[in-house]
Amino acid sequence: MHFTRAAAVAAMAALCFQETASAPASFDDAASTCGALGVMKVDKDSLPPSVKPDNVRKCLNHPESLSRGNEGGEIFRRQCWPGGEYGCSNGGYCWTQCAGPSGEWCWAAEEEGFGPWIRCSKWQDCDASMACGQGKVCDSCGCSC
C-alpha cells in the first residue's frame, strides 16, 4: 500500500509540475485520472516552505465529495457537525473541526493541506491538529458547513 501511495505521489508530481512542451498532455492525463474531482493546480513557488512540491496531491477535491444520496442522485451538502473535534468517515478519511463549537469542519490532508487526503480506519487514527485540505476553487477544501 505504501508503494502504491508513493507511486501515486510520484505520478502526481510529474503531471502537476512538468514545465516542458508536453505539459498539456500531462494535464489531460491528470484530468482523465481525476475526472469530476478536478486537477490540483498549484504554483510551487507559492507553497509554504515545509511543503514539498512532489507531495502535492494530483486530484483537487476530496473523493467523498462525489458521494451521492439514495434519492435522486443528489450530492450531499456538507452539514455542520457539533458531535466531536475530529473523526474518521465511513469511507475511511479523517476530518477535523476547524472553527470551534460552531460545527464547521474540514477534510484533513497531509503537507499542510496540500498533500494526500489522510486515510483512517478508526477515529483514533485522526487528531484535531491535522491541517484542512487546501486548493484553489476546491469545494472540498477549507473549513465550512
What DSSP assignment string belongs to 25-93? Answer: HHHHHHHHHHGGG-B----GGGS-TT--GGGS-SBSS-GGGG-B-SSTTPBPPP---TT-SEEE-TTSB
Residue type, 92: G
Q: What is the pLDDT of residues 54-111, one digit of tens each?
A: 999 999 999 988 765 444 443 445 678 777 899 999 999 999 998 777 788 999 999 9
The pLDDT, as a whole number, for residue 145 is 80
Between 107 and 23, the higher pLDDT residue = 107
Cβ 84 vs Cβ 20: under 8 Å? no
* In the predicted structure, residue 143 carries a pLDDT above the cut 90: no
* Phi and psi torsions of 15, nearest 5°: -75, -40
The torsion defined by the Cα of 111, 113, 114 and 120, in degrees rounded to 10, comes to: 80
The pLDDT, as a whole number, for residue 89 is 92
Report the run of H or E that residue 134 belongs to, with start and end. none
The pLDDT, as a whole number, for residue 62 is 93
The residue with cell 444520496 is 69
SS3 11: helix
The pLDDT, as a whole number, for residue 125 is 97
The pLDDT, as a whole number, for residue 67 is 65
Q: How far is CA 133 from CA 21, 22, 26, 68, 70, in A?
A: 30, 28, 23, 21, 27
Chain-wide mean pLDDT for the chain?
Answer: 77
For residue 16, count other CB atoms closer than 10 A to its CB.
Answer: 21
Q: What is the pLDDT of residues 101-137, one digit of tens each?
A: 778 899 999 999 999 999 999 999 999 999 999 988 8
What is the spatial order of strands in the sheet that 94-97 belongs to? Answer: 86-88, 94-97, 105-107
* In the predicted structure, residue 1 carries a pLDDT above the cut 60: no
pLDDT band at 26 (very low <50, low <70, confident <90, very high): low
The pLDDT, as a whole number, for residue 83 is 77
The pLDDT, as a whole number, for residue 32 is 87
